[in-house]
Structures are given as C-alpha cells and as structure tokens.
Structure 1
C-alpha cells in the first residue's frame, strides 16, 4: 500500500474531542502526530463481475495522537525534520500505534496546508520509514494531514473547524479527504438498526421474606391505586366524558363519526379556558384597586 489513494479517513468521537480540547486550551498554535492503521475494506455486496482490486476501499483510522502543546516540535521553521526529536516521540509508542500522519492547530487561518506543512508532510512520507525499527515496519506511509482552526471572525459561540488531507508524494500534492466521526451523528445510528438481544431478560419475582414486608407492599400498592384513580378522575373531568380509549377509534373508517365529538370536546375546553382567563382578569383588577 505504497502511496495509494485513501478513500476515507475516520476518527472516534472521543479522540477528535480530545484533540480539539488540547488545541482550545493551549496558549497558542499546536501540532502533533497521528497514530492508527490503514485497512483495505472490501464491501460485502459485491457482484459477480466486480474485480476485487477495484472494489476494495482504503480507510485510514485514527486511533490516538500525540500533542506537543506548541509548534515546530519535530521540525524547524523551514519544514525540515528534527530526526532526534521525532525518534524520541516515536520511541514511546505502543505496538498497535503506527504513525499515519500529523496535525496542526492554528487560530483564525484558512483551512489549507501551508508551504512549510507541505514540506513536513513530504519529509514524513519519505524519511520516517528509516526511523522505525525493522521489526515494526510501517504498513502505510504517514501521509495523513489534518488542520484545525477557528473561524476568521469572532462569534458568540466558540466553534472549531477541521479538514483532512492525504499527501501524495508521487505527485507532491494534497488531496482533500472526507473524515467520518465514528459514534457521532445521524450516520452512526444505522449501526444499531440490526441489533437484537441474544436472550431476553429473566423475570425477577419479588420474594417477600416476612409478613411485615408483605403488609408494607400491600399498603404501597393500595396508595398507588388510589393515586392513579384520583388522577384518572381529574382527567375525566377535563375530557368531559371522552375517554382516552376512544381516541383509538379516530383511526380508520370510523374516524368520521368521532371527529365532530372531538371538536365539541375542544370547544368546551376552550370555553373553560376563556372563563378562567376572565376570572383571572377580574381578580387582577381587584388586586390593582386595593393596591391603589
């Protein structure tokens, strides 16, 4: 997978939020390294005439990051790599943290790479392979670049913007890529569409240990039933005899017979509200007379 085009870049919601938090809480601009992996994903709905090499999709997944808290942490102002600093940063990474790119956060700047950032990306994609131990080679050149920034104009709501790129070292250009945020947004809800429990929850009966517990439980049930009955009577007074169960008949071919009754119910409710409003108006006038 040497200098192949990446179709999509994905990052988890907590990782993206953590990068934005480090950027927003810093005193100035920041940069850092991105770790993750690149997978060759083949869709499950292949046709008989589809070729495997043309149907596969390269997806770069960002799993973790390192933020320096400043800029020029592993390169100089001209974009040349500081191999000593970069080797020190890569020495502490775990076995499952492969370097796939880097990022920069700068305030009130355009969402496009600068000439220095292009030089850093080119050096990373070419020279970083020599910094990795031979027993842990990179499976993909670190060519992912993400820029974070804030809006050019001040806003009442503090927002951040980001854009992802892939540096193609064969052409020496940046290609903008879409970045999906996993477990965030409406697109992720489809993952729960086919969810079903493996087994139903068992029924847990309430076992009463003594008579006192049984008596307390019966008193509580009785009080609960009295409360429900009181609430139901209040609803019946407001509904003027139109029970809630009759609302189900408003669906289907019998709806025309009950529409007029429901309109009469609304008319009575509006009349009650009008009478209540007049009563409040009169009482307010009396209070105002007493105050004067």
Structure 2
C-alpha cells in the first residue's frame, strides 16, 4: 500500500464528523517461492500479495450494508462500477471501517459484512501472475478488511491506529496481516533514483553566458539579453527578488558550499507567496466593499420606488 493512499484514508477518517466506512480496490499478485535451499526442511512457499491502488470512502456508515451487516447488492454494485469505470484493472479487495474512541478489534457487524462479501461468488476476481501449470486461473473473493480507530482516551498527540485483516470463510475468523507501506522507511530510498521530477520550477540556464570582453566593450548579444530577461521573468513567477545568475551557485560540485543560497531561494519563494496572499486578501476586501455598496444602492432604489 502506498503512503499517500494510507494518508488519504486516515485524512478522510479524521476529518469526518463520525465513523466512516468504504471499499478497497486493487489487485492480488502471485509471488513464486525463492529457491534458496534445496533441503527437504526448506519452508519457502508461494506468497499472495494484495496491492491497494484505490479506495472509496462514503463519509458515513451503513453505505452498502444494513445495521445487521447484510450487504445491499445494488448499492455495492453502484460503488464498484463507478470505481472500475475509472480504473478497469482494479478489483474489489475488501472494505474498511473507521471508528472513533474504540479498541482496534473487529465488531460483530464488521464480521457479518466481511462474511457477506467473501461468500458472494459474483465478486470473485482473478490473481495476477498465476502459478505455472494451473489448469484454470485461480480466483479470490473480497476478504481484505482494514480497521482504523482513534485512541479511547484523549492524548496530547493526535494519533490513529490501523490494522489489516484477512477474513477466512472456512474458519469464520479474521487473520491479522502485515501492511507494507511503500515510500516510507529507509528500505525504499532506492525508489527515488528512478523517477522524473514534476515541478513548476522552470528549466533555466542559471547564468548569462556573455564573455567579460564583450561586457567591457558593450557588445552583449541581444538574443542573450532577451533570453536572460525571459528566464528572469520565469523565475520571478516562483520567487521574489532573486537574480537568475545566482542559480549557478546552486548547481555542480560546489553546490554543497552554498547552503545559504538555497535558504535564500526558499525565503524569496515564501516572500512571493506572501505577496500573492496579500493581493488576494486586498482584492477580496475590495469585492466585499463593492458588494456592500451595491446592497446600499439597491436598498435606496427600492425605498425610493416605494415612496413614489
């Protein structure tokens, strides 16, 4: 499960006025065993990994089931079809529940909902990368259950607890499962070596490429000056009062020696944001003032019409 997906689920739960529930979507992949030991005592076995790629949060409870835990097929089908219209490759893996000031263990109603989902054959979905030699593609039922809970007692630090379960229909019980959060922890630092950054910061040459001799002679290239002015205007969209030529100090092998330059860049970007904020506040105040003025004019016009 990705860190942003988990954070989004917790955010929806924490900002809701009460308890919430929802559906979990994704896929299940078959991971073959690692043949590191040929001895008969080897315990290596195949593994099924469930990957959560999306979720639906209702903002309340009893969104697709009743108070006794019986699933409503029409409501469930509507939510599933809406999600699969956006991502056809995702399947219904299970559901989640968020409760406030309760212990982190499934309730009888949550047991009934999970049992109803896992016993519905129309919700079966295939496993990705099935084992070689399988006569048919193996399928699974939605059996994943995520439980969120806030602390029973008030705490200084606001925390949320969560736990994953797999419902076993054959045993009629919940089996706790571990959750691996992608993008969190030192084990995932290597993932940041293979990505293309997406940032509104413009691509700039960082310096005006003009020789000192040409500067002394006043023979600067007009095209270079135009490019410099263009780059400076693009930089002014992101920061306030920073010269484009100073960016050259932030690049190359000597960039580590210019921490102050980076701090100066961020400081001027914050100044730009504060300037825009003040402009928005001033424009909002003018709009409110104009609305009040228009209201007074309408009142005077209505009063004059009444006197006539």
| TM-score strictly above 0.5 | yes
Q: Distance in 2 between matches of 1:109 and 1:36?
A: 28
What's the counterpart of residue 99 of structure 1?
92
C-alpha displacement at 1:211, in angstroms?
A: 2.9
What's the counterpart of residue 21 of structure 2?
31
Rg (Cα) greater in structure: 1
More off after superposition, 91-100 vs 169-178: 91-100
C-alpha displacement at 1:170, in angstroms?
A: 0.7
Tell me the matched-pair count: 200
TM (norm. structure 1) is: 0.59
Q: Distance in 1 between matches of 2:102 and 2:25?
A: 25
Q: Distance in 1 between matches of 2:216 and 2:179?
A: 59
Does 2:151 align with 1:187?
no
What's the counterpart of residue 21 of structure 1?
11
SS at match of 1:84: helix
Q: List gaps (5 residues or longer) in structure 2.
A: 127-136, 196-205, 219-244, 250-308
Does 2:100 align with 1:115?
no
C-alpha displacement at 1:138, in angstroms?
A: 9.2
Q: Distance in 1 between matches of 2:25 and 2:161?
A: 21
Residues 149-197 of structure 1: CA deviation (Å, up to 9, x unaligned): 11111111111110110000011000011111111123323656xx699
Q: Which has the higher contact order (CA 8 A, sep 6+)?
A: 1
Alignment of 1:107-186 (within 5 A): 107-127=100-120, 129-130=121-122, 139-186=139-186
Q: Distance in 2 between matches of 1:45 and 1:72?
A: 46
Cα RMSD for the two superposed structures: 3.7
Q: Distance in 1 between matches of 2:12 and 2:78?
A: 21
C-alpha displacement at 1:46, in angstroms?
A: 3.0
Q: Distance in 2 between matches of 1:119 and 1:46?
A: 41
Q: List gaps (5 residues or longer) in structure 1.
A: 1-10, 198-203, 225-292
SS at match of 1:55: coil
What's the counterpart of residue 75 of structure 2?
85
Shift in alpha-carbon separation, 1:130–1:145, aligned structure 2, 3 A = same
